Structure 1
Amino acid sequence: MKSVSVYAPASMGNVSVGFDLLGAALEPLYVEQPFGDVVTVTAGQGISLECRGDYAHFLPKQGNIVERCAERFIERHAPQCQGLALTLEKNLPIGSGLGSSASSVVAALAALNRYFDDPLEPQQLLQFMGELEGEISGSVHFDNVAPSYLGGMQLMLADDAQPLPCFDNWYWLVAYPGITLSTAKMRALLPSDVPMTTTIGFGQQLATFVAACYRQDEQQALAVLNDVLAEPHRAAHIPGYQAAKLQLQQLGFEAVGISGSGPTLFAVCRDEQLAKQGADYLQTHYVTNQYGLVRVCRLARQGVQYMEHQLNAVN
């Protein structure tokens, strides 16, 4: 009997400069525990789901997204299936701004696709992931699912994702305080109409950042890593964020922003000792309970990781 397990890394949406258009996968440097969700698919009767992991007890009792992924996949691409046994190892906090729901969706659909011998091509699978993620966040967007699936930093195109060259010597510090913020509610804080000057500024910054990545111009990339669209409307709604950002800037971090819709913040520097100093500060002053976390990361070059094995049948 075949079993497929897939790991999908945590991710940052927006990356300040690219609202709904830019995302990056994360890989922690100093901890061994997985920084992403794992979904395992085996044969079963009906559709059953077992949840485990540090954040499993925060999951809803009804309507888990992994079950929904299985139902949709079977309906569209495996109608002959008699049933599946699913396991979700929930290693990412929910409503954190670390792509928690995207990680579950990506791991689930990638595992299902591999289990059924890859009926979907990568681009079709990515579109499916965006659709399922959109059911949770309130709108279809790919800035978490694309990097979690593909790895690295990804720029969202009209119907695809384009990898951007990364800066290998950047340290990405992320801190989740331990509270939950609904992505849909945080999106509701944003205005429906944006002034022309803000729109032009957003376009200039994103274009400059993309160009700087291709030229490997670190200084210019860092100079424009700033959020003019979402952060002005969200910052005050994230407890402790503004004070932490100011302190990190004073320590010497070259960019600080909100990961996704928060409450996780991210900060960028090029010095390992500074990254560790910032991590110590955030652990003491930004994390509020035992569910919070601080990680010093690099961008994860690899997205999903597959593990397949045959199980011995039990008579």
Structure 2
Amino acid sequence: MTERELPPAGVTAYAPASIGNFAAGFDLLGAALAPLDGSLLGDFVHASFAPEASFRLEGPFAGALAGDARPNLVLRAAGLYQEALMALGRPAGPFALRLEKRLPVASGLGSSASSIVATLAALQALCGEPLGVSELLELAGRAEGSTSGGIHLDNVAPSLLGGLQLAVPGRDGRPAARRLPWPAELLLVVVHPEYQLATAQSRAALPERPAWGDTVDFAGNLGGFVHALHTGDRALLARCLRDPLVEAHRAPLVPGFRAAQAGALAAGALGCTLSGSGPSVFAVAEEEEGARAIAAALQQGFAKAGLSGRAWVCTLDLEGARILSPVPRHLLLEAHP
């Protein structure tokens, strides 16, 4: 193999933040986020081949994970990826991994999904892309489910594939997702209050089984949401940008949520609810000036509860996970003999 043909010895992958549930689709819908200012809102994972496995944690939110006794999600995702490669009879590592944790943990912004997806994207590029997209999606869902049980796609699917994704039945019972059409002019306003809400705590607040009426309402609302997107029915979309299933149970866990939600709707939001399991909140705006007003209203609502909040005005990230900086092997070897 020539120097030109050698696989990259080091890559950096980025996976965007995401909104889970996306109001209408508990555990089924998710949207990848791209701030209007062009910044990258998500985690970075650096991966390279190494004589022995190693893991390093850094970034502005690394401290929130430093004391966690459980294996980091990067290591869980890497372990699943190595198992998949070994099942194909391919060498699998060792890898040196470094996570730049840029998303706040327990935030409702798909923080765990971003770390998982960035890891899989980095290893996939490093190893010559041996797995298919459906296989990566399944690995991501399994890694995400290691903290909440089962396979969860609502955050990992958009973070991996971009856009607004709906989890659908796959072949042979395997997980699958489909991108939904989203009006390009509609903006997503996201505010993260300085407050942590663990996914496990948020799920514990939910009833073991929802009432039949709530289930039917949820199904009709989700169906209406999907129909509105495909037909361009803006009025129906606004009616369906709500969470009829879990919001009522989780709202008391987030100080200031109801005030923030009321303020956003009064400022013209088409809809407003928790992002994922919270505490972050998202709203949908029809234009940028209105989005700024909605962001201010959300922040004011949280301020009434004594919480400051950071705001982003976003479009959908249509690309999903991507490689930012492959490093040719011969350059790395020259720098680190």
**Alpha carbons of 1:289 and 1:189: their partners in 2 closer, same or farther (altered >3 Å)?**
closer
Supply the distance in 1 between the matched residues of 2:276 and 2:74 (Cα, whole angstroms).
Answer: 21
**Alpha carbons of 1:197 and 1:3: their partners in 2 closer, same or farther (altered >3 Å)?**
same
Kept after mapping to 1: 8 A contact 2:187/2:315: yes
Query: Which residue in 2 is equivalent to 1:37?
Result: 43
Specify the SS of the correspondent of 2:313: strand
CA deviation profile, 1:213-236 (whole Å, cap 9, x unmatched): 111222211111111110011111
Pair 1:6 & 2:13 matched: yes
Report the CA distance between 1:305 and its aligned residue.
Answer: 1.2
From 71, 76, 79, the equivalent of 1:71 is 79
Query: Which residue in 1 is equivalent to 2:110?
Result: 99
Specify the SS of the correspondent of 1:34: coil
Query: Which residue in 2 is equivalent to 1:128?
Result: 139
From 108, 126, 142, the equivalent of 2:119 is 108
Supply the distance in 2 between the matched residues of 1:260 and 1:231 (Cα, whole angstroms).
Answer: 10
Supply the distance in 2 between the matched residues of 1:231 and 1:19 (Cα, whole angstroms).
Answer: 10
Specify the SS of the correspondent of 1:261: coil
From 187, 190, 206, the equivalent of 1:174 is 190
Deviation >4 Å, runs of 4+: 287-290
Letter in 2 for 1:246: A
Specify the SS of the correspondent of 1:256: strand
Q: Which deviates further from its counterpart, 144-153 or 61-70? A: 61-70
Q: Which deviates further from its counterpart, 81-90 or 213-222? A: 81-90
Supply the distance in 1 between the matched residues of 2:265 and 2:301 (Cα, whole angstroms).
Answer: 15
Supply the distance in 2 between the matched residues of 1:270 and 1:48 (Cα, whole angstroms).
Answer: 46
Kept after mapping to 1: 8 A contact 2:260/2:299: no
Report the CA distance between 1:212 and its aligned residue.
Answer: 0.9
Kept after mapping to 1: 8 A contact 2:263/2:298: no
Specify the SS of the correspondent of 1:50: strand
State the TM-score, normalized to the length of structure 2. 0.88
Pair 1:48 & 2:29 matched: no
Q: Which deviates further from its counterpart, 1-10 or 281-290? A: 281-290
State the TM-score, normalized to the length of structure 1. 0.94
**Alpha carbons of 1:106 and 1:23: their partners in 2 closer, same or farther (altered >3 Å)?**
same
**Alpha carbons of 1:289 and 1:240: their partners in 2 closer, same or farther (altered >3 Å)?**
closer
Report the CA distance between 1:285 and its aligned residue.
Answer: 4.4
Q: Which deviates further from its counterpart, 40-49 or 237-246? A: 40-49
From 280, 296, 317, the equivalent of 1:264 is 280
Report the CA distance between 1:72 and its aligned residue.
Answer: 2.9
Q: Which deviates further from its counterpart, 261-270 or 77-86? A: 77-86
Structure with higher Rg: it is: 2
Supply the distance in 2 between the matched residues of 1:141 and 1:39 (Cα, whole angstroms).
Answer: 21
Query: Which residue in 1 is equivalent to 2:158?
Result: 147
Q: How many residues align?
A: 313
